Chain A
Amino acid sequence: MSDITDLSLADLRDALKAKKVSSLEATNAYLANIEKAKALNAFVTVTADRARDMAKASDAKLAKGEGGAIEGAPLGIKDLFCTEGVQTTAGSHILEGFIPPYESSVTANLWRDGAVMLGKLNMDEFAMGSSNETSYFGPVINPWRAKGGNAPLTPGGSSGGSSTSVAAHLCAAATATDTGGSIRQPASLTATVGVKPTYGRCSRWGIVAFASSLDQAGPIARDTRDAAIMLRSMAGHDPKDSTSVNRPVPDYEKSLGASVKGLRIGVPKEYRLDGMPAEIEKLWAQGIAWFRDAGCKIVDISLPLTKYALPVYYIVAPAEASSNLARYDGVRYGHRAKEFSDVQSMYANSRAEGFGKEVQRRIMIGTYVLSAGYYDAYYIKAQKVRKRILDEFNDAFKKVDLILTPSSPSAAFALGEKSDDPVQMYLNDVFTVTANLAGLPGASVPAGLDAKGLPLGLQLIAKPFDEETMFKGMFALEQAAGFRARPEAWWG
């Protein structure tokens, strides 16, 4: 075997079952890659000892011909998932040193299926950000660089540790979460596959909460097959999350390779933005042509409320966040200020020291839009517009099976390029946020490179709980694009 870490999750799984490699070999190879890739800053915590113990346990099972669906496969876990006995920070100073006494349901599902944990992945603080620059532990660096340049680029956010570690082969696949685009935008910027399933498909229990009506867990993986394998293990009903939906989890891998002939692909004209780079427009047209050539029916659709999705999001998400983050008071867990005069100043100082600038900004917006006198004008209004956006999607899905759009309005940008203007940064999620508001599954698949040699993704959005059709479409897109480019390993 040339390099175990170049095997896809699917190939590694098969090699492990066939005993051509051991989980310990794979785990050690990944740990060596992580050690060499410190410049990427993808991990907050590396759990080398635990990884080797889990790998040995997997090897013992595999030797007996036993083990789960992904027995022995080494994964990275976004630091938003609580992991029993292992520090979980959510990228925040306020949770630095927090060691959960329990395991999130999604990660518990992965360990049930035999996965090995390599460590916890860096992310924007409390998943609030699109560039990984809001992390208390410093930004993650994209393994991709512009042709001929060496300026550090963002891997997207908030799941930037997940996208970078998958793109740089620091893990076989990673968990991620998506509240407004935090799986799909980083996937687009790193040439990885990111899947945000239907709201309710994965349990939110044990995932540090940001905006509970929008948060969903999903995988970032090297290709569509790997993402299908990951989602099957992550998903499932959980009584501990009252919004978790009780329906069977299909074997998504079975959808791959099925003919897409006759599928109706919707193309929403409102996703054609003023000032959108011509390359993204061109790639989108190319995507449409690929589906047409595969025998799909291309249907022009209209989603007129698209431009209002981000303003709705920036009311609903901060409102829910201000409520969810009220729990960080320096009493039961998390950072407590050293200096204070009474219990009120202890709360206020602990929170001011523990939360970063963007998190505080969003708590302020959320507190304001929920406060007496403003609640109806902002929050209720936003929830009404959100309902109309949902209705618009429901109408569109009477005519189409999937919707095809670009994943992000630009390729990877330089660190610092957009961090001075919050609204500019928020616009990164313009194509992804609608699926969160409507609870729909969405996925980004690498489709091409721009003139600077940076990857760009295309997004597919599907009907609720129709991830199978989405995977079918993703696989067809992946086959047509034939994307093979890899970043040059400058990081060591």
Chain B
Amino acid sequence: MSVDKDIVRKVARLARLAVPEDRLEPLTAELNGILKWIEQLNEVDVAGVEAMTSTVDMKLPMREDVLQSGPTGGGQPDNVVKNAPRTEDHFFVVPKVVE
């Protein structure tokens, strides 16, 4: 399988990456180089094999559904917005989304 300029444009949109029109051609070539190399996986017989999800054979731990304390806990709005490019009164400010 290989990609063309249109697929690359679509994938860039899905990935929320602004790719200038003149970069699409070279990027298509780069991605096809990688995809062609990956294609050798078709040689491997995987009939009846279950797709792997984890290397560790363990059940995911459960915890009580309560507010945590410490760095992952609540009550720290200053910390939550501390690194945001633009905020107002503990809100993240973004361009208008709904007209």
Contact = CB atoms under 8 A, between A and B. Distances in A.
Interface of A: 97-99, 101-103, 199-200, 213, 239-240, 242-243, 245, 305, 307-308, 311-312, 314-315, 322, 326, 329-336, 340, 342-349, 351-352, 355, 360-361, 363-365, 367-368, 371, 374, 377-378, 380-388, 390, 421-423, 437-439, 464
Contact of A387 (B50, B63, B94, B96): B50
Contacts of B80: 332
Interface residues on chain B, size class: 35 or more
Contacts of B52: 383-384, 386-387, 390
Given A332-B92, A363-B15, A439 B55 contact: yes
A243 B83 contact: no
27 contacts: A101-B82, A101-B83, A102-B79, A103-B71, A200-B56, A243-B54, A308-B41, A312-B41, A314-B37, A314-B38, A333-B83, A334-B83, A336-B85, A336-B86, A343-B94, A346-B95, A347-B16, A348-B18, A355-B17, A364-B17, A364-B27, A381-B41, A384-B46, A384-B50, A384-B52, A386-B52, A388-B44
Contacts of A363: 15, 17
Interface string B48-70: 01111111101011010000000
A304 B9 CA distance: 38
Contact of B94 (A98, A312, A331, A384): A331
Contacts of B37: 311, 314, 423
Contacts, number: 163
A315 B38 contact: yes
A365 B34 contact: yes
A51 B48 CA distance: 55
B56 A371 contact: no
Nearest to B36: A423
A317 to B, nearest CB: 12
Nearest to B82: A101
Given A340-B95, A384-B50, A422-B34, A99 B82 contact: yes
Contacts of B50: 384, 387
Interface in B74-90: 76, 79-86
A240 B16 contact: no
B59 to A, nearest CB: 10
A315 B52 CA distance: 13
A272 B55 CA distance: 26
